Chain A
Amino acid sequence: MNYSQIAVLFGIAISIVVFAISTAAYSKSSLSDQNSSKVNTFGGHTPGYPTLQTTGDVLDPTSLVINPKDAVIDPMKYLRDFNYGRLSTTSNGTLRDFTMIASDKDTKEVSPGVFYNVWEFNGTIPGPTLRATEGDTIRITLINNGSKFHSIHFHGIHPSEMDGVFEGIAPGGKFTYQFTAEPFGVFPYHCHMQPLEEHITHGLYGALIIDPKTPRASADEMVMFMNGYDTDFDTENNFYTVNGIPYYYMHHPIQIDKNRLIRIYLLNMLEFDPLNNFHLHANMFNFYKTGTKLIPDEYTDIVTMNQGERGILEFSYKYPGKYMFHAHKTEFAEKGWTGLFLVKEGTNQTINESLNVTTIKNINNYSTTDFNKTTGLMQKGDVY
């Protein structure tokens, strides 16, 4: 009897201890709940998913906006910001002067709540979009404000010593790249110091646009630069973006006018993943691979690019409303590479809708043997 009494007491004591241990964690969080008065709403972006309220904090990169002072870039400003340089005229024609500052010490917010050691040209990822016309002389002064050797390697045609590979610029150093802008097209630039992967994945890259001497047709032009961030250094990207911040254009849709020609300079500098792509919803676009020709290579709604590949997309929206664009590698889309166009009834309808349709019809018949015919058609259309 003695033993059974002891055993029962022992059992009761143990149960009490277990309850105490197991409930300690839970009661702690509920205690904190009582102290806070704020209530936030979250979820509910996707059909079928509940919208909930919380007394805690919301973790949602699809709706939260980074404080501009911490953000690695303002994607809305970057979208249509073209840097034409300081213009002067020489005996050789137009000279465009650019100043680029490389840095590698900042820690900035690359996705809401996530801070990363960013390496930047002129303080943003991607760096500024440089723009010139074919035949111009481009002169870029690179100041290395970082703690490591850096350089700028431009894609395009230029002399060996302007290639940014063998001449590293020491910390505190300066170097001037000078070359003729050729050919016309879209080109990435990036640091080419070793380890290359490290310099690129940290953010030292940007776009250079060289316009043909006869300008392309007037359009609402924008740059879309596809990249990613490997914030935990496991050689796999944690975040995918277009223009530097995941999901930014989900809460800040890009406003465009109905029927207005949209021209996107699209570049891919995604590290680690072998490909990346762009898919446009409810529409089709003409794609100019590398932007080096005036005739489209393809009429499609999706374009896939390896690292360093780029091109020009042209399209216009027929119907107003919200349209998604994103990587059709859905993993990338669900880790930040997703955005929205907001098509509004525009006032500035410069493009004849029927002309657009004609182009579409003919492009579908396009093949390499029809090259001249197609070229003729494009000249006749004369809208591009």
Chain B
Amino acid sequence: MSTLGPVDYALLIADLSIEVCALVILLKKRALSQHFTFVLFLCASIAVGIGRYYVLAADGFTSNTYLYFYFFSDALLIICLYFVLMSLYMHVFSDMNVGKLVRAGAVLLLAGTALISYYTVASSSDRLVTKFVMEMSQNLYFVGVVLTYVLWGAMMKLRENRSRVMQLVLSMGVYFSAFAGSFALGNLYPDLVIWRYVSHLMVTWLPISWAYTFIKVTEDARMATSRVVAPTQ
């Protein structure tokens, strides 16, 4: 059983406290009604963080229990992030009444990615459940990147000018792309030690950026997408 060092504990506690602070800020800014999925993700992330801490303390970093718990809880968090992304789609397309289409598309994409991941792992020699979940997480993050690109493209086309929605979508793009790359690296080189620390730092990105957006960017703030895409022109 491998135990954690002081750096690991400090990072775990930092992650948790940042998430709790972000949750408090979002609740104070009355995001529960309009941005319920954001609050849901933060609650799930806090619960997963506490769960991981207990599993780590009981079984150690290299135990199978922690490995299973880590990847299954991560898959759960990505599904929550999909809900966040879908809620952003709903915000952007709110005038078009395409809520049902967005929901159906999201379910189809989730199922499709899970199937492709299953097929990928089933065709390889080591048919491990953890391998499947890791493969699925990596693919889901990448599908998240693609979906965020599509959403950003639609926002530019529709001349969406709500600053808050813009910053939330872009922060999701940063998060998805960072994790897709990191998971793919972890998949190819599972023994990379740096991955263990970098992922902790990346986890803090979403709560910090959301808290900043909800504090500093008001609901009625407006900005042209052209100023974000090509500010120097």
A binds B: no
